[in-house]
C-alpha cells in the first residue's frame, strides 16, 4: 500500500515530527502476537506494546471475537439514565482485581479523560463533604497525565505545557524524583530519594492543607523517561496525604494491567490511592476506553439528596461503550487464561539483566527498570536535544524493531507475552543501533 501526496498532506499527526515522517512514512498494515507488519511486508518486533497498551499482544482471538459479536448485537447504548449489561459485568470483574480499598468504576474513553474525571471527583468530593475550600490540585514536575487541560495543568512536562496558555488555576507541583547523581543504573527501585515526598509539606505550608484537594502522581513516570519511585517514596507520600486530609490519585494508565508484575502498580508498591486512573491495557488497545477506580468512601459521599437527582454531573457520550466493554471483557479473559497480569514478575529478571547490560554502550548515561518497563537514557548531541535518541529510533525501525523515545531516553514496554528470544532481539538490535550512533 502506498499513499499519495494529498493523503499524506491531509492528516495532521499527533505527537509526531510531521514533516520528517511524510518524507519517509513508517506505515503499519497488520499485527499479530509480538509483531507488526509494515507496508513493505517486513516484520517489526513491537518493543513498546503499541503505545504502552497492547499488553496481551496483537490480534488476540478472544478480544477480536468479542468485538465482532458485540458490533452485531448492540452497537451503542446511551450511558445517561440508561445502561447495558456488559457495563456492570465489566465493573464487577474490574473490582475483583483492584487494590483492596478501591471498589467502584467510572468509565471514560482515554487516559486523558480519566485524569480530568479523577480531578473533578476529588474537588467535588471535598465540596459534598463541606470542605469546599479544597480546590487546589498538586501534580509533580516531569509528570504526564494526558493532554486535556486538567492533565497538562497537573502535568510537569514543559513541551506539553508551554504552548497552551495559563491552563487551570490553583495548581502547584512537587519536585520530581530523578536523581542520577545518587541513583544512576539502579536495578529496580533506587535506594535514595524517599525524602523527595516531603516536598509536599512545603506546599502544604505555602497553601495550607485546607485548600488542597488532591495530589496526582504516576507510580512509575513513563512518558518523561521511565522514572522509578525511590524506595519508601510512595509510602511517604501516602502518609503525608493522610496526615493533611488530601486525596492521593495514582495515574496508572501505563502501569495498570500487569506492567509491573501485579495487576496494578499500587499492589507492586504496597500503596493504595484514593482514586486510580486507567486506560490503555484495559482493552489491550483495541477499542478506546478508560476508567477511574474509586473507594466506597468517595463514591458514597455523593449518594445524598433526592434519589431522582443526578449525583455527579459528569460523563461522556461514549462512557461504557458496548464495543469497549466487550473488548475489555475479552481482554480480562485473555489476561486470566494466560496469567499475564503477573507474568512481568516472571520475566523481569531476564529483562533487567539484558537492559542493564547496556551500561557501557556508547552514550548510555543511565538505565532504569521496573517489571517490564525499561528506560535507557542517552547523553544528548551538543545543541541538539532528543536527536541522538531519535536517530537510534530510526535505526531500530530500519532493523525491524519498534521502540519509543522521549527526549534522549529510549523507553521500552513490550507486550507481556514476550519470550526470552524477543528480549534478546530487542537488545541485540538496540546495541547495534547505539554503536552505529557513536
How far is residue 58's CA from residue 46's CA, in Å, rounded to a whole number? Answer: 9
Q: Per-residue pLDDT tens for 4-14?
A: 899 999 999 99
Instruction: State the cell numbers at 338.
Output: 494466560
Q: How far apart are CA 397 and CA 429, in angstroms?
A: 10
Return the C-alpha cell found at 235: 509510602
Q: Is the pLDDT of residue 408 over 70?
A: yes
Residue 94 corresponds to which cell in the numbers above? 474490574
244 and 238 Cβ atoms separated by less than 8 Å: no
CA distances from 28 to 21, 37, 73, 358, 370 (A): 13, 6, 30, 28, 29
In whole angstroms, what separates CA 77 from the centre of its chain? 28
Averaged pLDDT score across all residues of the chain? 97
Task: Please say whether the beta carbons of 97 and 263 come within 8 A.
Answer: yes
Mean pLDDT of 277-289: 98
Q: Return the number of other C-beta atoms located less than 10 Å from residue 156's C-beta.
A: 21
Render pLDDT for 305-363 as a digit per residue (tens, 0 to 9): 999 999 999 999 999 999 999 999 999 999 999 999 999 999 999 999 999 999 999 99
**What's the predicted TM-score (pTM) here?**
0.97
**Nearest Cα residue to 356 out of 370, 335, 342:** 370
Report, as an integer, the average pLDDT of 389-404: 98
Percent of the chain with pLDDT over 90: 99
Chain centre distance of CA 398: 27
Whether residue 248 is predicted with pLDDT greater than 80 in this model: the reply is yes
Percent of the chain with pLDDT over 70: 100
Residues whose CB is less than 8 angstroms from the CB of residue 350 and which lie 6 or more positions away in sequence, other chains included: 420, 423
222: three-class secondary structure by DSSP: coil
> How far apart (Å, rounded) are the C-alpha atoms in residues 52 and 166?
29
Rounded to the nearest angstrom, the gap between the alpha carbon of residue 164 and the centroid of all alpha carbons in its chain is 22
Q: Quick check: 251 and 217 in contact, CB under 8 A?
A: yes
For the segment 32-68, what is each residue's pLDDT rounded down to a tens digit? 999 999 999 999 999 999 999 999 999 999 999 999 9
Q: Residue 1: its pLDDT value, please?
A: 65
Report the C-alpha gap between 364 and 381 in whole angstroms.
12
Nearest CA-CA partner of 176 in 233, 246, 256, 115:
233
- pLDDT higher than 70, residue 129: yes
Quick one: fold of 5-59+340-436? 3.90.1150
| CATH number for the domain whose boundaries are 64-338 | 3.40.640.10
Q: Is 64-338 the same fold as 5-59+340-436? A: no
Pick from 63, 67, 107, 114: which is nearest to 88 by CA? 107
431 φ, ψ (degrees, to nearest 5): -60, -45
**For residue 234, pLDDT beyond 90:** yes
Domain extent listing, the chain: 5-59+340-436, 64-338
Amino acid at each position: 500500500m502506498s499513499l499519495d501526496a494529498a493523503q499524506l498532506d491531509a492528516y495532521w499527526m499527533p505527537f509526531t515530527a510531521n514533516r520528517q515522517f511524510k518524507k519517509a512514512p513508517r506505515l503499519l498494515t497488520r499485527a499479530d502476537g509480538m509483531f507488526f507488519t509494515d507496508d513493505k511486508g517486513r516484520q517489526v518486533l513491537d518493543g513498546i506494546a503499541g503505545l504502552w497498551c497492547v499488553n496481551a499482544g496483537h490480534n488476540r482471538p478472544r478480544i477480536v471475537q468479542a468485538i465482532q459479536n458485540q458490533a452485531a448485537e448492540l452497537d451503542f447504548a446511551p450511558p445517561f439514565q440508561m445502561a447495558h449489561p456488559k457495563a456492570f459485568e465489566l465493573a464487577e470483574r474490574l473490582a475483583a482485581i483492584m487494590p483492596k480499598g478501591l471498589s467502584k468504576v467510572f468509565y471514560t474513553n482515554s487516559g486523558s479523560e480519566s485524569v480530568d474525571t479523577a480531578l473533578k471527583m476529588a474537588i467535588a468530593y471535598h465540596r459534598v463533604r463541606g470542605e469546599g475550600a479544597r480546590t487546589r490540585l498538586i501534580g509533580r514536575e516531569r509528570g504526564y497525565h494526558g493532554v486535556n487541560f486538567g492533565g497538562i495543568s497537573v502535568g510537569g512536562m514543559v513541551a506539553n505545557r508551554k504552548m497552551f496558555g495559563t491552563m487551570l488555576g490553583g495548581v502547584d507541583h512537587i519536585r520530581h524524583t530523578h536523581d542520577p547523581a545518587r541513583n544512576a543504573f539502579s536495578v529496580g527501585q533506587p535506594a535514595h530519594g524517599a525524602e523527595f515526598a516531603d516536598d509536599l509539606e512545603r506546599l502544604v505550608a505555602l497553601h495550607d492543607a485546607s485548600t488542597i484537594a488532591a495530589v496526582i502522581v504516576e507510580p512509575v513516570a513513563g512518558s518523561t523517561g521511565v522514572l522509578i519511585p525511590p524506595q519508601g517514596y510512595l509510602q511517604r507520600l501516602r502518609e503525608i496525604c493522610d496526615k493533611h486530609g488530601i486525596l492521593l490519585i495514582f495515574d496508572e494508565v501505563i502501569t495498570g494491567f500487569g506492567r509491573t508484575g501485579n495487576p496494578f502498580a499500587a499492589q507492586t508498591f504496597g500503596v493504595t490511592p484514593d482514586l486510580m486512573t486507567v486506560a490503555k491495557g484495559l482493552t489491550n488497545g483495541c477499542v478506546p476506553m478508560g476508567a477511574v477506580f474509586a473507594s466506597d468512601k468517595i463514591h458514597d459521599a455523593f449518594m445524598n439528596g433526592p434519589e431522582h437527582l443526578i449525583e455527579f454531573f459528569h460523563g461522556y457520550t461514549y462512557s461504557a461503550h458496548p464495543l469497549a466493554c466487550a473488548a475489555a471483557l475479552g481482554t480480562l479473559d485473555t489476561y486470566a487464561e494466560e496469567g499475564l497480569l503477573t507474568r512481568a514478575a516472571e520475566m523481569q529478571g531476564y529483562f533487567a539483566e539484558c537492559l542493564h547490560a547496556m551500561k557501557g554502550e556508547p552514550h548510555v548515561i543511565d538505565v532504569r527498570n521496573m517489571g517490564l518497563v525499561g528506560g535507557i537514557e542517552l547523553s544528548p548531541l551538543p545543541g541538539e536535544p532528543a536527536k541522538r535518541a531519535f536517530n537510534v529510533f530510526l535505526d531500530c525501525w530500519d532493523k525491524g524493531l519498534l521502540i519509543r523515545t522521549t527526549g534522549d531516553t529510549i523507553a521500552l514496554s513490550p507486550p507481556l507475552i514476550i519470550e526470552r528470544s524477543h528480549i534478546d532481539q530487542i537488545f541485540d538490535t538496540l546495541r547495534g543501533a547505539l554503536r552505529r550512533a557513536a
